[in-house]
Amino acid sequence: MERESFTGSDSKSAQANSMLPGENENREKENTEIKSGSAFEKIAPQDRKFECSTSLTLVQIVEKFREQSEEWELETQLGKVKGRTYGTGEPVYFLNGVGAGSLLYSTIAWLLKDHYKCVLFDSPLYFPETCQRKEANINSLSEVLKEISDFHDDRNISLYASSFGSMIALNSLALFPDRFSRGVLQGGYSHRKLSIFEKALSSVGRKIPGPLRRVPFYKKIQTMNHRHWLPLMDQGRWEFFQKHSGEIPVKTLADQVRVISKTDLRNSISKIQQPVLLIRTEGEGSVLGQCQEELEKKLPNGKTEWIHSCGLIPYISRPHAIAKLIRNYV
């Protein structure tokens, strides 16, 4: 498929400025490799035209997103939802991953804004004071997604989701095939066994007040899991990720884990006829890898792409690569 440019420029200087600080360093190191199927496919320089020509930092891009996007709020059957809509074109809805707020995906939306209507939001689980938590399950969260699409009067919607959001996406594709036309899932799963720590979190986390950053060892764990996947020269990007992921309430994370523990979609995903792109990443680990392989086998119209050297948070470490895959698939 032909890649289109946001800027229409093919110059080497435009390509050099098309990445967030530090991405050029990583691209030279890995030769911008995206793995398709079982072999690495090197992206030719002329195919990098999709990159948005800018010298802005991630923090500056997020500020522009906040200034230019339309903020909205909606009362749903589970409680309050807050979100932002950005860009024009076919609708793409973003479904947050575990412990991730919608603002973390704003760079991808900024890259897509000239071609797509991007809808980012935080579900009722992010507002523990108003969330009807006892009624929150995978089906009710899919109903909330449908309510949001009614609110925006959108149909033929593509879903981009990571980790926890992929469960909602898969369930929504199965329940509402006339509403949701395709999915792009990064680090997705239809079922996942919880660790001992996760099981404990789902039971006691609702009793812990405040945001995640106050939890002992939270920053250390985040650093061990994610820091080495981000460019060392771009400290601002890491600080942005730590700050905004740390603002998520502990109760929100506990509720997400509880929904995961009670959800098993393995018998229903084979009924999903819409096309689904699975994005796998280096560093996903054996447990998540097995979940992804199961999706590959059972989804009738599934396709897999790999992104190299990005860890589990490519929406921060490799937003251009995610945006390119969405642009080429949706």
Confidence class for position 170, pLDDT limits 50, 70, 90: very high
Lowest mean pLDDT among 8-22, 228-242, 312-326: 8-22
**Angle at the Cα of 166 from the Cα atoms of 165 and 168, rounded to 5 degrees:** 65
- Taking a C-beta distance cutoff of 8 angstroms, is the pair 93, 158 a contact? yes
This prediction's pTM: 0.84
| Whole-Å CA distances, 302 to 55, 194, 329 | 36, 25, 12
Q: What percent of the chain has pLDDT over 90?
A: 65
Q: Coil, strand, or helix at residue 165?
A: helix
pLDDT in tens, 72-99: 999 999 999 999 999 999 999 999 999 9
pLDDT in tens, 271-291: 999 999 999 998 888 889 999
Range 189-196 average pLDDT = 89
Range 13-29 average pLDDT = 41
Roughly how many angstroms between the first and final C-alpha of the chain, as a whole number?
Answer: 12
Q: To which H or E segment does residue 288 belong?
A: helix 285-298
Which residue would you say has higher pLDDT here, 262 or 200?
A: 262
Q: What is the pLDDT of residue 46?
A: 33
* 47 pLDDT more than 80: no
Strand intervals (E) in the chain: 33-36, 39-42, 70-76, 79-86, 90-95, 116-122, 157-162, 180-186, 276-281, 302-307
CA distance 216 to 241: 18
Confidence class for position 55, pLDDT limits 50, 70, 90: low
CA distance 184 to 177: 15
Confidence class for position 34, pLDDT limits 50, 70, 90: very low
> 177: how many CB neighbours lie within 10 A of its CB?
13
Kindly indicate whether the domain formed by 58-329 is annotated with CATH number 3.40.50.1820. Answer: yes
CA distance 264 to 270: 13
Q: What is the pLDDT of residue 21?
A: 46
- According to DSSP, the β-strands at 33-36 and 302-307 are antiparallel
Q: What is the pLDDT of residue 54?
A: 52
pLDDT in tens, 103-137: 999 999 999 999 999 999 999 999 999 999 889 99
DSSP class per residue in 119-131: EEEE-GGG-TTT-
* 16 pLDDT more than 80: no
Domain boundaries, the chain: 58-329
pLDDT in tens, 139-164: 999 999 999 999 999 999 999 999 99
Confidence class for position 321, pLDDT limits 50, 70, 90: very high
CA distance 92 to 83: 13
Tokens 């080495």 appear where? 228
